[in-house]
Homo-oligomer: A and B are copies of this chain.
């Protein structure tokens, strides 16, 4: 199991943050219910009443009207809103320090979906998942349980939703400490026999066509059932969630302010082949180089004079490329630091990545010039020729991080200005700019950043060289008129980070509803 989450053999994930989401308890064990105590603790003696009220509450909400009318007749128009109570979940039972043994003897209710059902001669095993964690609750049932007829008649099948009431008992099996001895079962929503997520080999490609059901492929068992895939479905989504929250935490704890950058822009639609029209969307920094008109760094730098800000929002690229590394719609994290240079930028990117994923490993930095020298000297045969001035290809990037530096993340800095965007700060050598790319094993470029050109005359000169219209960039130049400062920032494609943390090979499996050229279902 553990190996599936190791980004590479030479990197180790930190148990905190990312992996926290893979354990049963996402929170501090001593304080698991920061806001609302679980219902079971509030009324441990009356689980049946809890069960009944959940059922009636959920299924017969129309009844409410009567009581409202009764109140009204009493002359009280309006009533108080009820308390938001955390319901008992599988994670609460199995996620404790003794994996549920402390709940043995308690009667509880589980509401969820049937993952598997095995009927033996005298006993039926139902694996139920309620979405609160990756682990199922094994429910054991004999023919004397209320509602057993629904099982017998074949109504309860894989994919069906059910309510089960039972007692927590020690499990005879080796896979879990406790299981549920069923007293009563209620079918909530049946599952048609055509249910596509069956216990058989299902390819990633097939699952993408079932994106609305894909999260149901999240059991540990599925790890080897699904064609040997290391990860699938909801597990990736859970890592994604944990990475997103860790991202916010890191920046908030370090004094950054989150801002939402606009998506709709009024940029001219030149180079239309590479842009969505009508709504002109924002390219990633890589595209910015290829299509200079798009290169306005709207989303990131220079917009404000706060010390440190970051964005985290969706981004779009209209380029018609079908690779396992690109999406038409993806999420980006873009911090920007005022009064900062490229070294600060690299340090921030490193601290960020260490916080959310990788621990106990040095990050290496070297210049583009040194990287080229290293690649030229390498014994490896590359598909693309290496020489000073060329952009690094994925094969070069991966060689650097995976082989030359033995699996360490590598930051390459000071690229030739011709292959980078106009707004990057020119170095004193006249040939390079203060840009940096962070390369990680299996992914290649994960982060791209730069110190920005804060000197008005250099910036205007570069615009002129590239035959870009100064008027288009009026507000960006304006910021250099009024208290310009050295500043730097970077962009990180969030789905690549999810790939890096999970081991998922195709970027389309790193986002719930992938959009690629010609693909926008769901």
Contact = CB atoms under 8 A, between A and B. Distances in A.
Contacts of A480: 189
B429 A484 contact: no
A295 B3 CA distance: 43
A195 interface: yes
A198 to B, nearest CB: 11
Interface stretch (A174-182, A224-232, A271-279): A271-279
Contacts of A263: 263, 314, 316, 329
Contact of A68 (B26, B212, B363, B366): B366
Contacts of A138: none
B485 A161 contact: yes
A5 B306 CA distance: 21
A351 interface: yes
Given A350-B81, A366-B68, A405-B78, A241 B257 contact: yes
Interface residues of A, number: 145
Interface stretch (A42-50, A142-150, A511-519): A511-519
A339 B339 CA distance: 50
A521 interface: yes
Interface in A23-71: 26-27, 34-36, 54, 57-62, 64-65, 68
A244 B249 CA distance: 12
A155 to B, nearest CB: 12
Contacts of A240: 258-260
Contacts of A260: 240, 314, 331, 511-512
Interface stretch (A83-91, A283-291, A389-397): A83-91
A316 B276 CA distance: 16
A448 interface: no
Interface string A482-507: 11111000000000000000000000
A502 to B, nearest CB: 15
A111 to B, nearest CB: 5
A258 B278 contact: no
A316 B91 CA distance: 36
A132 B84 contact: no
A328 interface: yes
A194 interface: yes
Interface stretch (A11-19, A341-349, A458-466): A341-349
B343 A113 contact: no
A82 B245 contact: no
A272 to B, nearest CB: 11
A80 B241 CA distance: 30
A480 B190 CA distance: 9
Interface in A317-375: 328-329, 331, 338-344, 346-348, 350-352, 355, 362-367, 370, 373-374
Interface string A410-432: 11001000000000010111000
Contact of A241 (B54, B62, B259, B266): B259
A238 interface: yes
A484 B62 contact: no
A171 interface: no
Contacts of A521: 266, 475
A26 B251 CA distance: 12
Nearest to A129: B305
A237 interface: yes
B84 A347 contact: yes
A160 interface: yes
Interface string A249-263: 010111101111111
A403 B164 CA distance: 46
A276 to B, nearest CB: 5
A65 B306 contact: no
B276 A257 contact: no
23 contacts: A62-B427, A78-B364, A80-B362, A81-B350, A82-B346, A82-B347, A83-B347, A131-B308, A189-B483, A189-B484, A192-B481, A211-B475, A212-B304, A212-B476, A215-B304, A215-B306, A234-B306, A237-B306, A240-B258, A244-B258, A263-B263, A263-B329, A313-B313
| Complex A-B, nearest 7 residue pairs according to Cβ-Cβ distance, in ascending order | A189-B484, A62-B428, A131-B306, A84-B351, A84-B347, A161-B483, A266-B520
Given A77-B373, A161-B485, A188-B486, 5 more contacts: A61-B427, A61-B434, A65-B414, A189-B454, A261-B513
